[in-house]
Structure 1
Amino acid sequence: MIYSKLGILICNSTLITIFILSIHYADSKLDQKQIFLKHGTRYESTDILARAFKSDVRKTMTVQFFKNNTKTLETSVDLNENMLKTSGCLPSDKISIVLHGWIQSCSDEWALSLIDRLSFYRKGCVICIDYSTVASSSYMRLYSNFEHITEAIVGIIIGLIQHGFDPNRAYLFGFSFGGQLASAVGRSLQPHFTLQNIDTCDMAGPGFDPIAVDHSKAGKNVQCFHSSRDKGTLIHSCHRNIMLGSCGLSQPSVASQLHLGSHGLCVDIYINSFDYPFYALKSPPPECISFTAAAKIPDDYTVGYDEHFNKQVMGKIYVPTSLHYPYNLSKKELQLLYMDFKRE
């Protein structure tokens, strides 16, 4: 898989730079720069190319609106008041925004399932931003457009705010590459606007690690779910870092859901947490090495979508997962696990 190859190649920020510059996609900026130079363009060619790429990415993106779990509008990223009226979404509504990952779209099963759960529990308006055209090719092409996609999403959110939507009633979710986007978008909106809640699921590591980013700066309440060692980030700087399964590095259920892998299981577990309790351990498992503080866990504490963020529970939270759907452990199973810890 390209993720594992990238995980080996991308060891530090210097290698990231070299890798990106040396292995661009076929119609890379360097190749196109030579074409411009042949036609007499000189120093301004880089700026022209940057604007062209940014424009091309924006043209391929769409914004999909859902009200009561029904798609009411699919439009370009340049929103206007008439479009918003057509969507049925009101400025007084809570707003939820979903961002997908590489080789994914807003039509993926997990995206539609999450939209369904958000529509039922959170209500209001759900928006999925689709950049599947650029996400459908190589990971490097998607990665090289990270800033352009970020800028486009920031523009969409600012447009919503200008039309009356309240960032204090906003929730942003990103899976994998979309998780990195969610953090970058939240940080880019500041200091003018701060989103209320941001959740990410196994945000991508390849191309981003090991550069340290303070993801807690992305919003008022930022919680990040971690599920894999190869595709997910190893930067744990959110207000809450929820370590699923085996120390957030792997999931037992890969044995029964091999096609999803530990990375893909993250979003399934997150969606299941709307309807099933995923209990947190009171203390970190002995085998989980951590250099950051674990959260103080109240009795019977469960993780998942949390509209009313408890500021008393901050830091790393360890949540064991099971072999089979819906991947949670019962209270009795959790007690047996504690007994195993004590015997060790």
Structure 2
Amino acid sequence: MFVLTMYYKNILPKKYSESNSYLLLTRIIIWTFLICKVHSKLDQRYIGSMYGLQNETLVNQQRGIRLDVRKTLAIQFYKNNTKTLETYLPLTENKLDKSGCLPTDKFSIVLHGWIQSCSDEWAVALIERLSFYRRGCVICIDYSYVASSSYIRLYANFEYISEVIVSIVISLFQYGFDPSRGYLFGFSFGGQLASAVGRILQPQFTLQNIDTCDMAGPGFDPIDIDHSKAAKNVQCFHTSRDKGTLIYSCHRNIMLGSCGLSQPSVASQLHLGSHGLCVDIYINTFDYPFYALRKPPTECISFAKAANIPNDFTVGYQENFNKQVIGKIFVPTSLHYPYNLSKKELQLISRMNV
């Protein structure tokens, strides 16, 4: 462990502070040791990819690494939780007319992760919740053809996918949609995409809200990106230490479970793992209260600013963003579905935390 620490410390960029270096060293070392450990079906996919990275030769990496995103990416439109249109690029005014979505509607865009699609159970559930609570037009962008390849190929196409999604969003604006009524949600790799899309749109267009769930870390850390610049209000939910980013630069960094690094419910939901549980917990915040601790837990190392938490503050999708609550927010989670704690349980934890 000492040798690994000294090795990685020497290769980290000099600009990082000691605190940031500690977090980044922890990420790299943990990833090194956990790469051979299987926790869930989702974990197996990641680990298989990592072995693929090691075994794939440079020639194979370079051959065909740029996949044809524009021809395979599907755009799915929903109104009242009913799919009204599935189409491909270019996104024309005629196609938008057929979608039933109006420029006066609020619009939500959902971006999935690696080895996922808009047909995944969590994506279907989120579209339903957004249709019920937020209403308006819900759009899921399905790039599963690219996402079904190895992680290194997906990562190599990150900028290209981002540019294609930006072109879709700009088409919506040209059709008359209002950026101030726009919301993006991204899980894992999709979380990094959501932030990138929001930042590319600046300064001409500024989206209102972006929420991300356990934004991917592998391939993206340790680059210190300011995700708060992606929209007026950016919330990032964190659930895992090995797959989620350790860059906490959103307006709100919501640290779920044990310091945002693991979830107690992995004991009852082994097929999801701490990473995959993020979207389940996020979807449950629409219907169940997830109360935040007013003070950071003593066991959680926090170099970033902790938010000033009002009484009975709950986290989740929030259309009316309270700009007074900015920073790290710690939200304990439970062993079983729906993974939230009652006020009484939270008070008990708070007393133990004094």
- Aligned mates of 1:125, 1:25 — CA distance in 2: 43
Give the match for residue 46 of structure 1: none
Q: 1, 4, 8: which is aligned to 2:32?
A: 8
Secondary structure of 2:293's match? coil
Verify: 1:134 aligned to 2:146, yes or no: yes
Give the total of aligned pairs.
310
Q: Return the alpha-carbon distance in structure 2 between the equivalents of residues 244 and 288 of structure 1.
A: 11
The answer for the alignment partner of 1:180 in structure 2 is 192
- State the match for 1:165 in structure 2: 177
Which runs of structure 2 are paired with 1:101-250 in the superposition (5 Å)? 101-250=113-262
Tell me by how many angstroms 1:338 deviates: 1.6
Distance 1:24 1:221 in 2: 42
Post-superposition offset of 1:335: 1.0
The offset of 1:6, in angstroms, is 10
CA-CA distance at 1:7 after TM superposition: 3.4
Find 2:335's aligned residue among 315, 323, 336.
323
Runs of 4+ off more than 6 Å = 3-6, 19-22
SS of residue paired to 1:195: coil
The alignment yields a C-alpha RMSD, in angstroms, of 2.1
> Is contact 1:24–1:141 with CA below 8 Å preserved after alignment?
no
Residue in 1 that maps onto 2:43: none
- The AA in structure 1 aligned to 2:119 is S
Q: In the alignment, which of 307, 310, 316 is matched to residue 298 of structure 1?
A: 310
Q: What is the letter of the counterpart of residue 120 of structure 1? A: F
One-letter amino acid of the counterpart of residue 32, structure 2? I
Runs of 5+ consecutive residues of structure 1 not aligned to the other structure: 10-18, 33-48
SS of 2:353's equivalent in the other structure is helix
Deviation at 1:210, TM superposition (A): 0.6
Q: What is the Cα deviation at residue 122 of structure 1?
A: 0.1
Deviations for 1:112-151, whole angstroms, at most 9, x for unmatched residues? 0000000000000000000000101211111111011000
Closer, same or farther: CA 26–90 of 1 in aligned 2, 3 Å:
farther
Shift of 1:28: 3.7
Distance 1:193 1:6 in 2: 38
The structure-2 alpha-carbon separation of the partners of 1:325 and 1:234, relative to structure 1 and needing over 3 Å to count, comes to same
Cα displacement (A) at 1:339: 2.2
| Residues 4, 260 of structure 1: alpha-carbon distance in 2 compared, 3 angstrom cutoff | farther
Is the 2:228–2:250 Cα contact (8 Å) retained in structure 1? Answer: yes
Work out whether residues 6 and 207 of structure 1, in 8 Å CA contact, stay in contact via their aligned partners in 2.
Answer: no
Aligned AA for 2:287?
D
Distance in 1, matches of 2:312 and 2:197, equals: 33
Structure 2 counterpart of 1:280? 292
Whole-Å Cα distance in 2 between the matches of residues 288 and 6 of structure 1?
17
Secondary structure of the structure 2 residue equivalent to 1:97: strand
1:276-333 deviation line (CA, Å, top 9, x unaligned): 0000000000000011110000000000001011000000000000000000000011
Would you say 1:261 and 2:257 are equivalent positions? Answer: no
Listed one character per residue, the Cα deviations across residues 203-237 of structure 1 (whole Å, up to 9, x for unaligned) are: 00000001100000001000100000000000000
Contact 1:25–1:141 (8 Å) recurs in 2: no
Tell me the SS of whatever aligns to 1:59.
Answer: helix
TM-score by length of 2: 0.84
> Does the 8 Å CA contact 1:77/1:152 hold for their aligned counterparts?
no
